[in-house]
Structure 1
Amino acid sequence: MRNLWIGILGTAFVLSLAWGFTEYRQAEQFERVNVNQYQRSLRDLASNLDQLETDLAKGRVAATSSQKVLYLGQAGTISESAVKDLAQLPAEENGLSYISEFLNRTGDFTRSLAYQISVGHIPTTEEDKTLTEVHERLLTVNQNVQDIVQRVDTEGLAWVDNPSVWNRVAGLWRTETAEAAAAATDGPSSSVRSGLDQLNASLQKLPPFSYVGEYDSRSVREPLALPKQEVDRDVALKAAKSFLSKVGYPSSGLEFSGVSQGALGVYIFKQGNLFMTVSKRGGKVINYRDQREFTERTLSPDQAKDKVAQTLKALEWDLVLTSTEDYGGYLQLEYVQDENGIRYYPDKLRITVALDNGQIIGYDSTPYYAYHQKRNFTKKLTLEQAKTKLRKGFQIKENRMAVIPVMGNREVMAYEFRGKYQDEEYLVYINAVNGIEERIQRIIKTPKGEYLQ
C-alpha cells in the first residue's frame, strides 16, 4: 500500500513538472512574440525618424518650390508612420504623449507648408524659423532613438525595467512620474521604455512651436461635448468602475492616482498595468489603456470587431467603423459619428482590441469630446454637380456626405467620393458649397488593413 502511494505521488510529481515546464515554454514563447513585435516597431521608428530628419533637412535647403513641396510633403507622410510605430512600443501610464504630439505637429506643419507653397505661397521668415526649430528638435529625438537601438544591439538593453521582488512586496516600486523621468534625462537609461520616457520628459520641458495648420487649428479652448457641471472624485471612480465592468475587467483594485488640470481636466485612476482618466466635467471616460502582455491569438479580425461592437453598444456608443489596422496581437480601430448619412470625421473614437480574448485594451475618446457639437451646414451643390469637379477618368465606387476639418480652424461639409484612378484607390472630398477640391487621400491596402496616405 505504501509503495502504491509512493508511486502515485511520484507520478503526480512528474506530471506537475511536465505541466510546469509546458507553461514555462508557452510563457517564454508569448514573451518572444512581444519582443519581436517591439523590435520591429523600434527599428521601423528609427528608420522613419532618420528619413524624416533627412527630408526636413532637404526641405530647408531646397531653393525651388517644387523641391520644397516634394520633401515637406514626404515629411508629412513619414511623420504619420512614425507616430504609429511609437504607439506599438512599451510606455508608462498614458503613453509617450509629448513625443507623439511633437511628431503629429511636425507632420501637420510640413503638410500645411507644402500645400501653401504648392499654390504659390512664399515661406515667410517666421515659417523658415519654425522649420529650423522643428528640424533641430527632431535631430535630438532621432539621435536618442538611434542610441537606444544601438544599445539594444550592442548591450542587449532590456525592453522594460524589472523591479526587485522585495520592492514589489514592500510596495516601494512606483510608476515613474514625468518629473522623475525629467530629472533622470542626463543619465543612461536602464531599458528601452525608460529611455523613451526620458525623451518624452525632455520634450515636455520645451514650449510647443507655433504655426497654422490642421492639427494646430483643431485645438479647442475647452471640450465642446462635455457637460459644464463638474463631478467629484467618487462619481468619477464610479464611472471608471462601470466602464471596466462593461469592457470585462474586474475593478476591485482601482485606485485614485491624481488630478490633471487644464481645458480637459481629468481624474486619474490606476490598477496594476491599467491606466485610465475620467473627465472632471461630466464624468466621462477619456482615456483607458491596459499594458498587459498578449497570449496566443485566438480571434479573427471580424470576430474581434464583433466583440468591440457589443462592448461599444453596452457603453452607449452609436458610431460607425471607418478604419482597421492589424498588428498581429491586436487591432487598432477608429469610429466616427454618423448622423442622417453624414459622417463627422472630427468626432472620432479610437479603440485597441486584443486578439487573444477580444477585450478592449485601449480607448481614446479625446477627439470626440473635444469637437462634437451641433453643426449647421447647408449644401449648395447637388451630387451630380459635385461629380463634375472630379478628374476625368476617376471611377466612383461609392459616395457620401462628410464633415472634415480644414486649415484655418474650420470645418466644411463635403461630398466624399471613393473611387479608382489608374488602378489605385482614392478618397476625394469636394466642398458641398463652392465645389473646391478640399482633400485627396490615397487608400493603401496592406496585410495590416487599409490606411490613408
Structure 2
Amino acid sequence: MDNKRRHWIAPTVLSLLLIVALIWGYNQNIQKKQLQTSLENHYQRLFYDIKKHTENVQVSLSKALLATTKERNVMNFTQIVSEANSAQDKLNQLPIQHADNNKISKFLTQASDYANYLIDRHLAGEDITDEQREALRGLQMNSATFNGELANLHQSLMESNFMVGMGQGIDEANENVLSTSLVSLDKQIGKSPELIYDGPFSDQILNKKPVGLSGSQVDINQAQQAAVDFFGRNRVAGIEAFEQGENADDLRIPSYTFNLYPSNQQKDFAVYMGVAKQGGTVLWMENPRPAVNKTLTVEQGQEKALEYLRNKGFGSMEPNYSLQYDGIVLYNFVYKQDDVTIYPDLVKVKVALDNGEIVGFDASPYYLNHQERNFGRPEIDVDTARERVKTDFDIDSVRLSLIPKGVNEILCYEFKGKYGDADFIVYINAKNGAEEQILQLIQNENGTLTF
C-alpha cells in the first residue's frame, strides 16, 4: 500500500510544480507585456510632447519675427524659454546616446538662452537689431527642420511599433531608427549659423579657448611625466592612459587623461587626472577614496588646501565657499588682483578630513580665464552704489569683484548681507550702477550654496 502511495505521490507533486511553473511563467509574460506597453506608451508620450513643445517654439519664433512691440515680444520670448526647456527635459529622457543628440540639445539650450537674452535687452529699452533678427530667423528655420524630422521619426516608430523583442527592452532595429534619425537631424542642426550674443551658451563662449595656458603642445609621454610629477613620483606605483576619443581635440581644453595607482592604496584603486595638451599643465585630479575617522576641522582642512595651492604655484588665492560631505570638504578659491576678487579664476580643492590629504583638484576654470586684467577704476563710488540696493537690505560687507557676464567680465560692488531672514549677495555695476546679479546663500551644517 505504501509503495502504491509513493508511486502516485511523486507524479502528483511534479504535476503541481509544473502547473505552478506554468502559472508563474504566464504571469511573468503578462508582466513583461504590461511593462512593454507601459514603456511604449511612455516613449510615445515623450515624442508627442517634444514635437508639441518644438512646434510651439517654432510658432513663437515666427511671432517674434513679426511682432513690432517690445511688450509682445517679451511674451513670445518667455514662451520660447518655457517650451524649449520642456523639450530639452523630454529629450533627455529618451533612450539614446548623448552623442546622438548633442547639437539638438545645444540648439534647444541656445534657443532658450537667446530668448532670455533678448528679454533682458527689451527690458533695458532696446529694440531688436538686424543681426538679432537674422539669428532669430536661423533659429526659426532650425525649429522647422527639427519639427519635420521629429514628425518623420515619430511616424517611423509608430509603424515599427517602437518596442518589440520582449526580453530586450527597446528593439535594436527601432533603436537604430531612433539614433539614425537623430544623427541626421544633428547634422542639419549643425549647419545653422553661430549665435553671437552676450550669454553663457553663446557660440563664442562655448568655443572659447583657454587664455591661462602657455607653452607648446606635449605628447602623451610628456603629459604622463607631468601627471606623475604633480602627484608625487614617490607616491605613484603605476600609471596608464585612457583611450583617446575621436572628439578629444574638440574639448574646450584638449587634454590627456590618466589612471594613477598610488603606492599607499589598493592596486585597483585609481586616481584620475587630466593634463592639458598645451604645456602639459595638470587641469584636474580626483582621488575617489573614502574618508573615515574624521580628525580635522573644516578650518584646518582649508589651511591644508591653501598650502597645497601655494605649493602648486597658485598665489593670491582667497577662500570663497565650502561644502562638506562624507568626511570630505570641497573648497572654492578665487584669484585676487589689486584687492579685486576675480570670480572667473576659480580653483576647487577637495580635502579628506581624516588625514588632510588632497583628494580632488580642479583648475579648469582658472586656466580657461586667468590673465592679468586691466579693469580700470570704479566710475561710481560705494555710496552711490549703495543707493541702488534695497534700503532695508542689512549689509555685512562690501568689496569690489569681477563677475562673468556672457563674453564680458563686469567690475561690481559686491554687497553681502541679509534681507529678512535670508542671506543674499547683490552685485552693482561699478561703472554705471546697474543691478547685475542677485544671489541667495543657503547655509547648513554642510556648508554654503549659492542660488
TM-score bucket of the superposed structures, by smaller chain: 0.5 to 0.7
CA contact (8 A) 1:266 1:277 kept: no
CA contact (8 A) 1:222 1:263 kept: no
> Cα offset for 1:403?
0.9
Q: How many residues align?
A: 370
> Cα offset for 1:186?
2.9
Give 1:282's match in structure 2, choosing from 273, 276, 279.
279
- Aligned-partner residue type, residue 397 of structure 1: D
Give 2:437's match in structure 1, choosing from 425, 435, 440.
440
Evaluate the alpha carbon distance shift between residue 361 and residue 425 of structure 1 in structure 2; reply closer, same or farther with a 3 A threshold: same
Q: What are the Cα deviations for residues 207-241 of structure 1, in whole angstroms up to 9, with x where unaligned? A: 67413023235467642211133334332111222
> Cα offset for 1:114?
1.9
Give 1:211's match in structure 2, choosing from 176, 181, 196.
196
- Structure 1 gap ranges (5+): 1-45, 159-183, 190-195
- Aligned-partner residue type, residue 196 of structure 2: Y
- Aligned-partner residue type, residue 119 of structure 1: A
1:374 alignment partner, SS class: coil
Provide the residue aligned with 1:403 in structure 2: 402
Q: What are the Cα deviations for residues 55-105 of structure 1, in whole angstroms up to 9, with x where unaligned? A: 968965687745754785798799999999x99xxx9999x9878866765
Evaluate the alpha carbon distance shift between residue 205 and residue 381 of structure 1 in structure 2; reply closer, same or farther with a 3 A threshold: closer
> Cα offset for 1:416?
0.8
- Aligned-partner residue type, residue 128 of structure 1: L
Provide the residue aligned with 1:16 in structure 2: none
> Does 2:115 correspond to 1:117?
no
- Structure 2 gap ranges (5+): 1-45, 260-267
- Aligned-partner residue type, residue 214 of structure 1: G
Provide the residue aligned with 2:308 in structure 1: 314
Provide the residue aligned with 1:224 in structure 2: 211
Q: What are the Cα deviations for residues 250-308 of structure 1, in whole angstroms up to 9, with x where unaligned? A: 64344674794469663423438865432222211234567x6x87x8588x9578657
Evaluate the alpha carbon distance shift between residue 363 and residue 133 of structure 1 in structure 2; reply closer, same or farther with a 3 A threshold: farther
2:239 alignment partner, SS class: coil
Provide the residue aligned with 2:335 in structure 1: 337
Cα distance between partner residues in 2 of 1:208 and 1:303: 52
Give 2:134's match in structure 1, choosing from 117, 123, 126.
126
Evaluate the alpha carbon distance shift between residue 425 and residue 254 of structure 1 in structure 2; reply closer, same or farther with a 3 A threshold: same
Cα distance between partner residues in 1 of 2:108 and 2:327: 25
CA contact (8 A) 2:60 2:79 kept: no
CA contact (8 A) 2:57 2:83 kept: no
Report 1:292-331 matches (<5 A).
307=301, 310-311=304-305, 313-315=307-309, 316=312, 317-318=314-315, 319-324=317-322
> Cα offset for 1:134?
7.5
Normalising by structure 1, we get a TM-score of 0.56
Q: What are the Cα deviations for residues 310-364 of structure 1, in whole angstroms up to 9, with x where unaligned? A: 3563352453343456788987654321234321112123567789998777654
Q: What are the Cα deviations for residues 108-130 of structure 1, in whole angstroms up to 9, with x where unaligned? A: 43432221121223445324335
When Rg is computed on C-alpha atoms for both structures, the one with the higher figure is: 2
1:186 alignment partner, SS class: helix
Evaluate the alpha carbon distance shift between residue 74 and residue 93 of structure 1 in structure 2; reply closer, same or farther with a 3 A threshold: closer
> Cα offset for 1:378?
1.9
Evaluate the alpha carbon distance shift between residue 422 and residue 435 of structure 1 in structure 2; reply closer, same or farther with a 3 A threshold: farther
- Aligned-partner residue type, residue 230 of structure 1: Q
Report 1:227-306 matches (<5 A).
227-245=214-232, 251-254=238-241, 257=244, 260-261=248-249, 266-271=254-259, 276-288=273-285
- Larger CA deviation: 53-62 vs 125-134: 53-62
2:373 alignment partner, SS class: coil
Report 1:35-54 matches (<5 A).
none
Give 1:186's match in structure 2, choosing from 173, 176, 179.
176
Cα distance between partner residues in 2 of 1:320 and 1:220: 29
Normalising by structure 2, we get a TM-score of 0.57
1:128 alignment partner, SS class: helix
2:176 alignment partner, SS class: coil
CA contact (8 A) 1:109 1:211 kept: no
- Aligned-partner residue type, residue 313 of structure 1: E
Provide the residue aligned with 1:30 in structure 2: none
CA contact (8 A) 1:72 1:111 kept: yes
Cα distance between partner residues in 1 of 2:213 and 2:256: 17
Instruction: Tell me how large the CA RMSD over aligned residues is.
Output: 6.3
Evaluate the alpha carbon distance shift between residue 206 and residue 131 of structure 1 in structure 2; reply closer, same or farther with a 3 A threshold: closer
- Aligned-partner residue type, residue 395 of structure 1: D
Cα distance between partner residues in 1 of 2:257 and 2:125: 50
> Does 2:409 correspond to 1:419?
no
Cα distance between partner residues in 2 of 1:388 and 1:156: 67
Cα distance between partner residues in 1 of 2:98 and 2:274: 10
> Does 2:361 correspond to 1:370?
no
CA contact (8 A) 1:268 1:275 kept: no
CA contact (8 A) 2:138 2:192 kept: no
Cα distance between partner residues in 2 of 1:326 and 1:139: 45
CA contact (8 A) 1:430 1:437 kept: yes
Cα distance between partner residues in 2 of 1:340 and 1:228: 26
Identity within the alignment, %: 23
Report 1:27-176 matches (<5 A).
60=61, 65=70, 69=74, 105=110, 108-123=113-128, 125-132=133-140
Provide the residue aligned with 2:4 in structure 1: none
Cα distance between partner residues in 2 of 1:361 and 1:202: 40
CA contact (8 A) 2:403 2:412 kept: yes
- Larger CA deviation: 71-80 vs 99-108: 71-80
Provide the residue aligned with 2:12 in structure 1: none
